[in-house]
Each structure stands twice: as C-alpha cells, then as structure tokens.
Amino acid sequence: MTQLLFILSHPPGSSIYAQEAFDAALAGSAFSNIAILFVGAGCLQLIEPKLAVEAHQRKDFQRGFRALPDYHVHDVYGCEDSFNQFGLHNQVLVIEPTLLTQPDIAALLKRAQRVLCF
Amino acid sequence: MMLHTFNSSDAYRMHGHRASAEDLILLIEDGVFITTQQDLTEDKRIRVLREDLAQRGLPEPSAITCITYSDWVRLTVESQHCLSWTR
C-alpha cells in the first residue's frame, strides 16, 4: 500500500519545488512505501535535460529519476492528459512513468495514506 | 472528501478539474482573484479565504461561501487529504 504519495506539479528550472520534491521523495523512500505522481507542468521534469549544466547553473537532478528503482520506488505515475497537453509522447524522457487517466488519479489519491504536494 | 487549495488562477486553470464532486475547493492568496474572473456561483464546492480577499481589497462575493482561518483548520481536519495546488 502507498503510505506516501508525492505529487509533483512544478516544472524544472522555474523554482526550487521540483528538486526539493525529488529530495523529499528519496528521503521518504527510506522509511515508507512511496509513490510519485507527475501532473500538469510537473510532467516536464521527465524530459531528458537538454541544456548544459553550465548554462543554467543548477544540478540536473532529473537524471536521478533513473535511480528510483534502487531506492525501491517502483510506483511512478504520470497524468495522461498532461502528457498529451505538453506533447511528451514525442520527447526523449528520463524515465517512462505509468500513465493514468483522471479517474485513475482520483482512485490513487483515495488509496494513499498521506499525500504531499510539491 | 478532499480539500483542494489553489493559490493562483494558473493553478486553478491547470488543476481545478482534479477536484471531484464530493471534494471542496478553497481559494487562497492570489487564487481569490478567480472570483473576479469567472462566475463560480454555480459551483457549491468553492470556498474563499476571507482574509486573503480583504488583504487584496476585494469585496466578498455574495453567492460564494467565504471562510476564516479557523474554518480552514476545521476543513483540514475533516478532509482525507489536503491537496495544495500552487503556481
């Protein structure tokens, strides 16, 4: 059962939300069964970083998503509508989440013990 | 029942549809401006934080329920989850 559901709705780069969420999720994975849900502009975090680190002066934390299975995080979801909205089906992604419809997302929320929004 | 808070028009436009019929929607911070942008009177799930309206000099909309911080705390306790949609 998902004890902690992390909802990531912020794009990378425009704020510290995205990176903080990933750090929090990794910390949460140490003591809970967690799931991650990318929604809205948060799905943009999944695009393989294109800019050189020198150009934006921040860590390319998204590449770390590939390490999630090593942290026993296997429940990684994305909003199908958002994927369509942002055209993510044509992009190279860091990882491929399981896509959920809005009713699926509502059911996931109901099953989760705790939800954390970033 | 879940409580969805929106702190901006952008957040509401992007994620407003994620609130289901039995959920509540609370507009806070700059999210209170949504009351001036569209007609929300038909949506009985909507609540607006009175203090954030007042701080922005906006009138209290007559057909929408305005709530206090204490009400917000009560709704938080009554909700299964609180989902904070921010932008």
Q: Does B18 lie at the interface with A, CB-CB under 8 angstroms?
A: yes
Q: What is the mean pLDDT of chain B?
A: 96
pLDDT band at B41, cuts 50/70/90? confident
Cβ separation of B17 and A105 shorter than 8 Å?
no
CA angle (A98 as vertex; A110, A28 as ends), nearest 5: 60
Spell out the domain ranges in chain B: 3-85
Is a pLDDT exceeding 80 seen at residue B45?
Answer: yes
Q: What is the ipTM of this complex?
A: 0.91
Spell out the domain ranges in chain A: 4-86+113-117
Distance CA B2, CA A46 (A): 27
Predicted local confidence at residue A53, as pLDDT: 76
Using a CB-CB distance cutoff of 8 angstroms, which residues of chain A are in contact with residue B81? 109, 112, 114-115
The series of mean pLDDT values per 10 residues for chain A, 118 residues long, is: 93 92 96 97 94 79 95 97 97 97 97 96
In chain B, % of residues over pLDDT 90: 90
CATH 3.40.1260.10 is the classification of domain B3-85 = yes
Q: Name all contacts of B55-63 with Cβ < 8 Å and 24+ positions apart.
A: B56/B30, B56/B32, B58/B32, B58/B33, B61/B35
Predicted local confidence at residue A57, as pLDDT: 77
Which of A40, A112, A114 is facing B14, going by the closest CB pair? A40
Distance CA A115, CA A7 (A): 7
Query: CATH homologous superfamily of domain A4-86+113-117?
Result: DsrEFH-like (3.40.1260.10)
Closest CA to B17 of A26, A89, A79: A79
Exposure pattern of B54-73 as b/e (b: 16+ CB <10 Å)?
eeeeeeebeebebbeeeebe
Q: What pairs with residue A75 in β-bridges?
A: A35
